[in-house]
C-alpha cells in the first residue's frame, strides 16, 4: 500500500452512493405510481401467439392485429400466450409486458391523443418474431 491519503476516493464513493440512492428512490416512487391501476379501467384480454396478437374487449368484440381504444378511458390489459413467450409492447406509451404461457400478466394505460401507434412483440418467439406487429388506433370518445 502506498502511503498517500485516500480522501478523494472516499468523496468519490460517497458521490456514487448518493447518486445510486437518488436513482433508486426516484425509480421506486415512479414505479409505485404507474403500477396503480385505476378502478374504472376497462379490461382487454391480449393473446400472443406465433406470430400475431388478438384482442378481446369487455363487450366480447374481438380484433386481430388491430386494437381500437378511446381517448380519455383507462384500459387494463390481461396478457396471455398460447404457445411461447412474447412481449406485448406499445413503445409510444411505454406499455411493455411479457406474454407467458400459463400466466396472466397485467399492465394498464390511458391513451391521451387521437392517433395510431405501433404494437410489436419485444421477446424473441421464433421465425417471424420480427414481424409480429400490430396497430393501436386511438379514437375520439364515442358518446
Shortest gap between Cβ of 73 and another protein (angstroms)?
A: 21
Residues 60 and 75: their CA atoms lie apart, in Å, by 15
Q: Which of 40, 60, 127, 142 binds another protein (CB under 8 A)?
A: 127
Q: Does residue 125 belong to the site contacting Cu ion (CB under 5 A)?
A: yes
Residues 71 and 141: their CA atoms lie apart, in Å, by 6
Residues 116 and 9: their CA atoms lie apart, in Å, by 51
Contacts with another protein in 53-82 (CB under 8 A)?
none
What CA–CA distances, in Å, run from 141 to 43, 73, 107, 125, 128? 17, 8, 22, 35, 35
Of 52, 65, 54, nearest in space to 127 by CA: 52
Binding segment for another protein among 40-48, 63-71, 119-127, 135-143 (CB under 8 A)? 119-127
Q: Does residue 47 belong to the site contacting another protein (CB under 8 A)?
A: no
Q: Which of 57, 76, 117, 129 binds Cu ion (CB under 5 A)?
A: 129
Binding segment for another protein among 39-47, 56-64, 68-76, 130-138 (CB under 8 A)? 130-138
Q: CB burial class (10 A; 0-12, 13-18, 19+) of residue 119?
A: buried
Instruction: State which H helix or E strand residue 30 sits in.
Output: helix 7-34
Q: Which residues bind another protein (CB under 8 A)?
A: 1-2, 4, 6, 8-9, 12-13, 16-17, 20-21, 23-24, 26-28, 30-32, 34-35, 50, 83-85, 87, 89, 91-92, 94-98, 100-103, 105-106, 118, 120-131, 133
Amino acid at each position: 500500500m502506498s502511503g498517500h491519503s485516500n480522501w478523494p476516493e472516499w468523496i468519490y464513493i460517497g458521490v456514487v452512493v448518493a447518486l445510486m440512492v437518488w436513482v433508486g428512490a426516484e425509480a421506486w416512487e415512479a414505479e409505485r405510481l404507474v403500477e396503480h391501476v385505476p378502478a374504472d379501467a376497462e379490461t382487454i384480454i391480449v393473446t400472443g401467439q406465433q406470430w400475431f396478437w388478438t384482442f378481446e374487449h369487455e363487450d366480447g368484440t374481438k380484433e386481430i392485429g388491430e386494437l381500437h381504444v378511446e381517448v380519455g378511458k383507462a384500459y387494463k390489459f390481461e396478457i396471455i400466450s398460447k404457445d411461447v413467450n412474447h412481449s406485448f409492447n406499445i413503445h409510444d406509451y411505454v406499455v411493455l409486458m411479457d406474454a407467458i404461457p400459463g400466466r396472466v400478466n397485467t399492465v394498464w394505460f390511458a391513451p391521451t391523443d387521437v392517433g395510431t401507434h405501433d404494437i410489436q412483440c419485444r421477446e424473441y418467439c421464433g421465425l417471424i418474431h420480427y414481424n409480429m406487429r400490430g396497430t393501436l388506433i386511438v379514437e375520439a370518445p364515442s358518446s
